[in-house]
Amino acid sequence: IRKGALEAIAGTKAAAELDALRVKYLGKKGELTAVLKLMGSLSAEERPVMGQMANEVRAAVEKAVEAQSAILEKAALEAKLKAETLDITIPGKEVALGHKHPMYTVLDEIKQVFLDMGFEIMDGPEIELESYNFTKLNAPESHPSRDWTDTFYLTEDSKILLRTQTSPMQIRAMEEHGVPIRMISPGRVYRKDEVDATHSPMFHQIEGLVVDKGVTMADLKGTLNAVIKAIYGADSVTRFRPHHFPFTEPSCEVDIQCHKCGGKGCPTCKGEGWIEVLGAGMVHPKVLRNCGIDPDEYSGFAFGMGLERFAMGHFKISDLRLIFENDERFLQQF
Which positions make up the binding site?
249
CA distance 231 to 219: 18
CA distance readout (Å), 63 to 49, 59, 66, 309: 21, 6, 5, 89
Number of H helices, E strands in the chain: 12, 9
Q: Which residues bind ligand PHE (CB under 6 A)?
A: 165, 167, 245, 248, 279-281, 302-304
Shortest CA distance to 292 belongs to which of 148, 164, 174? Answer: 174
Smallest distance from ligand PHE to CB 223, Å:
13
**Closer to ligand PHE at the Cβ: 68 or 299?**
299
CA distance 51 to 88: 60
Instruction: Check if the beta carbon of residue 50 is closer than 8 Å to that of residue 39.
Output: yes
Q: By beta-carbon distance, which residue lies closest to ligand PHE? A: 304
Instruction: Check if the beta carbon of residue 163 is closer than 8 Å to that of residue 287.
Output: no
**Closer to ligand PHE at the Cβ: 131 or 326?**
131
**Closer to ligand PHE at the Cβ: 9 or 110?**
110
Degrees (nearest 5) of the Cα angle 257, 312, 326? 180
**Closer to ligand PHE at the Cβ: 61 or 282?**
282
Q: How far apart are the first and last CA of the chain?
A: 84
Residue ranges of the annotated binding site for Mg(2+) are 249
Smallest distance from ligand PHE to CB 145, Å:
9
Smallest distance from ligand PHE to CB 245, Å:
4
Smallest distance from ligand PHE to CB 209, Å:
8
